[in-house]
Amino acid sequence: MYNLSKGYRWYSTPRGKSIVLIYFINEIPYTFDNLSKEQEKDLEVILEATANHLYTEDEVYWASFYLIAEQAHPLLFEIQLQNPELLAD
């Protein structure tokens, strides 16, 4: 069974850096949601993102590609999940 989680992280692209909500499967990032301007200013969100790894565009892309190759991407393949309520929309 696979375990899902999510959390706020800094996300860096050639266009700049922002905080996003990243979704993980067994600690491997597979997708993310952009935040509203209001959410980006929330102190708790900023503190959580700052306390964790900064992800680059390439890191998330290659992690997602790896999950697809292994047929373990939870948005594309039917897999057993311990906590499917955390699945990204």
Contact call for residues 8 and 20 (beta carbons, < 8 A): yes
Q: What angle do CA 16, 18, 24 make, to 5 degrees?
A: 120
pLDDT for the residue 89? 82
Output the tens digit of pLDDT for each of the chain's 89 residues: 999 999 999 999 999 999 999 999 999 999 999 999 999 999 999 999 999 999 999 999 999 999 999 999 999 999 999 999 999 98
pLDDT for the residue 64? 97
Q: In the chain, what's the furthest Cα-to-Cα distance? A: 37
The predicted model scores a pTM of 0.94
pLDDT for the residue 51? 98
H/E stretch holding 37: helix 37-40
If you ran DSSP here, which 8-state letter would residue 36 be given?
P
Q: List, as one string, the DSSP characters of 39-71.
A: HHT-HHHHHHHHTSPPEEHHHHHHHHHHHHHTT
H/E stretch holding 13: strand 4-13
